[in-house]
Amino acid sequence: MDWQAAWRFFGELFFPPTCVGCQASGERLCERCLAAILLFEEPRCPRCDMPQVTRHAAPCAVCRASASQLDGMRVVGPHAEPLRRAIHALKYEHQPQLAQPLGTLLAQRWAVAGTAIDVVGAVPLHEARRKERGYNQAELLADRLAAERGLAVAHHAVQRIRATPPQVGLDRAARQSNVDAAFRAAASVVGQRWLLVDDVCTTGATLEATAKALRHAGAREVWAIVLARPVAPDAQALPTSESDVARGQGT
Distance, CA of 60 to CA of 47 (rounded, Å):
8
Report the interhelical angle of 83-92 vs 137-149 (nearest 10°): 120
Write the CA distances from 86 to 30, 123, 139, 168, 205, integer angstroms: 11, 19, 16, 17, 23
Q: Is 53 helix (H, G, I), strand (E, B) or coil?
A: coil
Report the interhelical angle of 83-92 vs 99-113 (nearest 10°): 120
CA neighbor of 216 nearest in space, from 201, 232, 194, 233: 194
Ranges under pLDDT 70 in the chain:
1-14, 165-172, 174-178, 232-251
pLDDT per residue over 197-245, tens digit each?
999 999 899 999 999 999 999 999 999 999 999 985 444 555 654 443 3
Burial, 233: exposed, middle or buried (Cβ in 10 Å; 0-12, 13-18, 19+)? exposed
pTM equals 0.85
Q: What are the structural domain ranges in the chain?
A: 18-247
CA neighbor of 225 nearest in space, from 118, 89, 61, 107: 107
Answer whether CATH 1.20.140 is correct for domain 18-247: no
Show the 3-state SS of 210-243.
Answer: HHHHHHHHCCCEEEEEEEEECCCCCCCEEEHHHC
Looking at residue 6, its pLDDT comes to 58
